[in-house]
Amino acid sequence: MQSIPLNVEIPEMVRVNEKELRVLLASKLYEMEILSLGQAAKVASLSKRSFIEIIGQYGVSLFAVSVNELQQDIANA
């Protein structure tokens, strides 16, 4: 995967560090299906296992379908 440098100015009132910004970006790109799990973990500078464990804290599901969609599928089975 090719990478490009990114320089972003964040207002001081936003209290996040670089590691958290990496995880936020990676989890959103994973959620949007732009990055694979492995690619997102690499962007976040985490192992796949660590990334899987942390994305739930950001409201991102490991699965491509929502809980509601799963419940509907079960109800329609």
Q: Decide if pLDDT at 5 tops 90.
A: no
Smallest CA-to-CA distance from 51 within 59, 61, 40 is with 40
Confidence of residue 65 (pLDDT cuts 50, 70, 90): low
pLDDT at 64 over 70: no
pLDDT score, position 66 = 65
Token representation of residue 35: 């990055």
42 and 17 Cβ atoms separated by less than 8 Å: no
Q: pLDDT tens for residues 18-29?
A: 899 999 999 999
Q: Which two tokens stand for residue 54?
A: 């942390």
Total-model pTM: 0.74
